[in-house]
């Protein structure tokens, strides 16, 4: 089972984070979060996040 993260924690990797229920059950709802950004508030109290689909290419664009 993947490590769950609390809302407000900084994302360790960029990618899709699924909102999980208080007991770790799947909700089917995902949020896209960039590495280093705080995870957004969930829909209900007690929910957490689990990384489900990390970004394949984390390089910076531009320049």
Across the strands, what pairs with 30?
18
E strand or H helix that includes residue 15: strand 15-20
Summarize pLDDT for 25-58 with one digit per residue, the tens: 999 999 999 999 999 999 899 999 999 999 986 5
What is the spatial distance between Cα 14 and Cα 22, in angstroms, rounded to a whole number?
23
Contacts of 48 (CB under 8 A, 6+ apart): 4, 5, 6, 7, 19, 20, 24, 42
Categorize the per-residue pLDDT at 10 as very low, low, confident or very high, splitting at 50, 70 and 90.
very high
Across the strands, what pairs with 32?
16
Domain segments of the chain as ranges: 4-54
Categorize the per-residue pLDDT at 24 as very low, low, confident or very high, splitting at 50, 70 and 90.
confident
């Amino acid at each position: 089972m993947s490590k769950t993260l609390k809302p407000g924690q900084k994302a360790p990797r960029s990618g899709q984070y699924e909102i999980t229920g208080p007991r770790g059950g799947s909700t089917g709802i995902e949020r896209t979060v960039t590495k280093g950004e705080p995870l957004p508030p969930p829909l209900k109290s007690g929910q957490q996040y689990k990384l489900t689909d990390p970004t394949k290419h984390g390089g910076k664009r531009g320049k």
